[in-house]
Structure 1
């Protein structure tokens, strides 16, 4: 579970590795300090700005607008609708925050259609996890992309493809194969009276989608500009500045203040208060990421990461499979997809020069694909699904853990396929 003991355990593990590798004490402390600083120096701003975007989606009802619009597409089944909701809305939401914010939509659809809550919650949560792991500007995906020297725009484009395929297989397709064996789960009594906003109080679909996809669009502009410009020009510098993740998120936040707030007669004071309140939810996330950065720095500074890379390269395992497997095992062990991806990056990064034919973009997606899978009792998301669905421990293992593992396998297959083109 992603709680404070994970943060403390990572810091403790950092000191343990440093001592075990006989690092000088001052070098060990400096490595931990530099790891925390270099990691949070880039990601803290992106996380804070992403939190503001998520809060604006929450208070404006933007997520509900997307859900209502998708529900009107009668040719799309309700479980696929939940996948698309998770995919679109998950771009700007942390996975746990996304579940808490979007699960009332699943409650509403389940009550109106008399559908098992499992059939809606599992596709939603699987999609949120897939986007969280493979699509920047999510912090973990952005961290891996940055550390491996991959192009952000390329990872976004192909990450969205992989995330969609993984969520569809792990969600609707898996549940269709389960068929009548899937237990009927009504909306738990304690959640049955949650209400959604009135439709006339919601922002328009065009404004919502524009705001949600703006930061991704800005980052893609940089990638497209780099593909079409072989010389350094003033325009390329401007596009590079706009497409930087921090700049793109900063612009998107101020656009969201207007499109989802001021334009709908919200007061700037109330928006700033909502912004301030939203920051309390990211303290633990920052601590986890900082501790993960410290652990990675110790692995590198002590030489353990290089030793592990050499040892793993002798296993004669395909590097994509190896990156996926390391992230999968770490996620199951520590319960945090974010920490798993950061740890896998520290181990995989030294191996990249050994495999020049495999692009860093593919390796970034491979690591994210592994982190999607095997969501078990160590992960807070496992318990959220169990609680919201009113499921037993065995049922959550049987259906949700299996769904995330299938999604992870699908993402791995897609990554192998994409490796022939990137």
Structure 2
């Protein structure tokens, strides 16, 4: 929860902006995180302001010039918003179209009719895994939020009982399964076979998603028993619901960006020649921005027009969809700023240096290095890229299957315990209307379950393959 191409850029970090030693860097990380948590929980300061102050405190504690710390924070904020801001906005528009047209109602009513109450969390993890296969994590959250909130509201479920399985399905895909950026980069760095990695990734992902989703949600819903936040729940439209779009049209519209992105991934694998015209075409239409934009434009007809919306009503729907996400964008951006400050002061390099002397089995070492970088930087993809580069020499003499397991070990470590330096942490917190403590008890622990179960599965597979 995090992320994406923004983090790929962060992985190529330039020279640190401070010459602090490892001890000072370690203390500065703890101080920065403590300040953020204290400002939010004790003084009730807005998360955006808390993250901004915490980033500057981190830079100062690490001995970085204040102007460079400010630049790191603003660069991180800007690149994060540039990377996910438009995607969140497009996803919010599509979600509003789904809600106002009655399309979200149609999906929810169909799910509730076809699934028993006991099976609902299992249905949600399956839907999230399918939808999340080619999607960036943030896009998947935005697309699924209306469905998750409505199912919880109509079915009178604890939000965590429905939300955790959906988040687990998305997160497992993000960390373990190509064509997500992290696994693809790790495959390239470790020289693993993509097909074998994909196959073994699915084997690891299934039990992981089950335990972190439907099973863990039983406990999470007891620890944090909250209802869906009213301001985020799509309201049932006041128009005649007989006009609402069909289930097939609604589902096709929601899955359209999924299909376009998946098609791009398949073409990239099959063609594997950037000069080929067909690959260049799919690189465009399968990019997240274009795929979501196409889905929004199509949704105006399959959802809006099907519900009898006029051009004016469509314009109003789009306008109203953007206001609620302003705060979310700022908080997610500030989380990216804090992450970039961590990277620029040299915390990632510190972790890599310290890990060189650890005498552990290669797969476990790969996982621990990724865990350490994830905890320090908050970035799943930075953790994956950095750890994969470090352990790549260890995979030189490995078999095809064990090289693939090395990729999965790195991916598993990159998901460990998302907290306040992860933009995904703030995204989940705001969408689900939780405070920091509740987010840690649910989202952060769910990510830890995914990471631990994944590495256990990887180590078990390494014994039999």
Question: In the alignment, what sits opposite 1:106?
Answer: 152
Residue 352 of structure 1: how far off its partner (Å): 2.5
Paired with 1:37 and 1:147, the residues of 2 have a C-alpha distance of 23
Residue 321 (structure 1) shift: 4.9
Distance in 2, matches of 1:129 and 1:78, equals: 14
Q: Is the 8 A contact 1:7 1:287 kept in 2?
A: yes
Q: Which moved more, 1:198-207 or 1:273-282?
A: 198-207
Say if 1:64 and 1:415 are closer, same or farther in 2 by CA, change over 3 A.
Answer: farther
Change (3 A) 1:39 1:79: closer
The residue aligned with 2:56 is: 15
Q: CA 1:309/1:44 → structure 2, altered by over 3 Å: closer, same or farther? A: same
Gaps of 5+ in 2: 1-36, 396-402
Aligned match of 1:350: 386
Where does residue 247 of structure 2 map in the other structure? Answer: 205
Q: Output the aligned Cα RMSD.
A: 5.1
- Is the alpha carbon distance of 1:286 and 1:397 closer, same or farther for their aligned partners in structure 2, counting shifts above 3 Å? closer
What residue in structure 2 maps to residue 264 of structure 1? 307
1:204-262 deviations in whole A, cap 9, x for unaligned?
22212211111121111221111111432122111111111111121111111221112
Aligned residues: 382
Residues 243 and 308, structure 2, Cα contact 8 Å, conserved in 1: no
Deviates more, 1:9-18 or 1:225-234: 9-18
**Residue 254 (1) aligns with residue 297 (2):** yes
Q: Does 1:37 align with 2:84?
A: no
What TM-score, normalized to structure 2? 0.63
Distance in 2 separating the partners of 1:383 and 1:295: 17
1:320 aligns to 2:367 (yes or no): yes
- Is the CA contact 1:126–1:171 (under 8 Å) kept in the aligned structure 2? yes
Task: Quote the offset at 1:29 in angstroms.
Answer: 3.0
> Structure 1's 292 and 67: CA in aligned 2 closer, same or farther, altered over 3 A?
same
Normalised TM-score (structure 1): 0.68
Does 1:290 pair with 2:336? no
Which of the residues 237, 260, 269 maps onto 1:227? 269
Shift in alpha-carbon separation, 1:270–1:411, aligned structure 2, 3 A: farther
- Secondary structure (helix, strand or coil) at the match of 2:155 reads helix
Out of 99, 105, 124, the position equivalent to 2:162 is 124
Q: Unpaired runs of 5+ in structure 1?
A: 111-116, 331-339, 388-392
CA distance in 2, matches of 1:160, 1:260: 34
Separation in 1, partners of 2:91, 2:266: 23
CA contact (8 A) 1:345 1:367 kept: no
215-224 or 347-356, which moves further after superposition? 347-356
In structure 1, the partner of 2:416 is 370
Residues in 2 aligned to 1:157 and 1:51: alpha-carbon distance in whole angstroms: 33
Q: CA–CA distance in 2 between the matches of 1:4 and 1:56?
A: 33
